[in-house]
Amino acid sequence: MARVGGLRRKKVSRFTKDTKSKGKVSLRSYLSVFNEGDRVSLTVEPAISKGMYCPRFIGKSGTILSKKGECYEVQIQDLNKTKTLIVHPVHMRLLK
C-alpha cells in the first residue's frame, strides 16, 4: 500500500509565513556563507523546498561539518544520537 502525503502534510501552521514576511526571499539569506565549526539554528523557509530537512528538526541547533555543493552538512543532537543533515543555507541562521 502506498504512503499518502509527504513531509509537508498536516504542517500548515509550521510552514506559513506572517503577512509582513511574505514575498520574495532575500538574496542575503539564500546566498549566505558558513564556515566549518559554525553554530547554526535550523529555521525553515517555507517558500523554498530545496534543501529542506524533516520538520521534526525545526528549532534545533547544530554545527557545520562541511559543504556539499550549495548545501551544508549539519550535525545535530537528536535525543541520544548525533545525526547529520544536508541543509540549504536559506534554512539556517548563524548563532552567536
pLDDT digits (tens, 9 = 90+) for 33-70: 999 999 999 999 988 888 888 889 999 999 999 999 99
Average pLDDT, the chain: 91
Quote the pLDDT of residue 16.
Answer: 85
Give dist(CA 52, CA 45) in Å, integer. 8
Q: What homologous superfamily is domain 35-94 in, according to CATH?
A: Ribosomal protein L21 (2.30.30.70)
What per-residue confidence (pLDDT) applies to 30? 92
CB-based burial, 11-30: b 16+ in 10 Å, e otherwise = eeeebeeeeeeeeeeeeeee
Place of cell 526571499: 25
CA neighbours closer than 13 Å in the CB half-sphere of residue 66: 3
Tell me the C-alpha distance between 17 and 31, whole Å: 20
